[in-house]
A = this chain, B = another copy of it.
Amino acid sequence: MRIALDAMGTDLAPSAEVAGAVQAIAELDDDIHLVLVGNRSQIEAELEGTDVPQGRIVIHHAPERILPSDPPASAVRRKPDSSIAQGVGLHGAGEVDAFISAGSTGAVMAASLFILKPLPGVDRPSVATLLPTTGPPTVLLDAGTNVDCKPRHLVQFAHLGRVYMQDVLGVAEPRIGLLNIGEEPGKGDERAVETFGLLEADGVLDFVGNVEGREIIRGSCDVLVADGFVGNVLLKFYESVAQFIVNMLREEVAKSGAKINFEETFRVLDYSEYGGAPLLGVNGVTIICHGGSSPKAIRNAIQVAAQAVRSNMVKDMAEELAAVHNGGPSE
């Protein structure tokens, strides 16, 4: 398989990208071939001296770069030779099987929607984010891509998250939870009440009911469905509150003289472990990484992309969404 990697996205581009690509080639399966998209001479300089088997990494020259300050949608149109437009273009043309970028999230989304298009039955593709829990991670949809969602959008998120967890995370029968402010049916705002009814009536989903704020961390579902407003507040709060509490503890531990490896203890909270956030619901595999991604985070994103390709995630989503869209599964 061939995976395109935007080499110009991170704060340390293209150094972090190239290092992550080299690491992926060394450690992951032999069928992975990478296309680094970006400034050829800069990428070549970074590749110099590395030991990559012939042909496993090639460069696709893209001289332009979309900046964080560029308005996302128009930037994609006005900078057709940018690494993002070119990279998604390669995917749209079938020359690669997936695209990864740590550049402007808005631009990656805009290019993916415009070039790859949403899958039939998907009104609003959604960036899925993994939340650390006391058990395996829970995928949150939506984490800020879509606000003012209608109940039917939340049901679509449930299906997208379900297929993602099955195909990429290997969860056989993902449990779907609805983020809400009470456990019983009938709790919550109008959107939550109506969404509950739709999820419960869905013939495919294993809907486990409402999930309260305090239940999230206990891993009480595999797919957590929410409007992007509350999802985004939750995600950003999580990152900051974890840091706050770890810092408080760090001081106390230092005072006590104990030796504790915080990085190791809190590895579960390290987002780079998870390898980026996929944009689900488009006709392709698009993975979005943090601008501050390390080589390891890039390597992990390549692993996630490869797994999505290998498992035929997009085809599986298309089939599940088409069945729902047509009023039920075809089986």
A residues sitting closer than 8 Å to B (CB atoms) are 134, 144, 147-148, 179, 181, 188-190, 192, 212-218, 227-230, 232-242, 244-246, 248-249, 252-253, 256-261, 265-266, 268-269
14 new A-B contacts, CB < 8 A, other than A181-B236, A214-B239, are A147-B181, A181-B232, A212-B233, A213-B236, A213-B240, A217-B237, A229-B230, A241-B242, A245-B249, A249-B260, A249-B265, A252-B261, A257-B258, A258-B258
Number of copies: 2
B240 A265 Cβ-Cβ under 8 A:
no
Which of these, B188, B213, B236, contacts A212 with CB under 8 Å? Answer: B236
> Majority SS of interface residues in chain A?
helix
Which of these, B144, B230, B246, contacts A233 with CB under 8 Å? Answer: B230
A216 B237 Cβ-Cβ under 8 A:
yes
The CA of A237 and the CA of B234, in the complex, are separated in Å by 8
Which of these, B217, B232, B240, B257, contacts A216 with CB under 8 Å? Answer: B240
Instruction: Determine the residue in chain B with the shortest Cβ distance to A230.
Output: B230
The CA of A217 and the CA of B234, in the complex, are separated in Å by 12
A217 B229 Cβ-Cβ under 8 A:
no
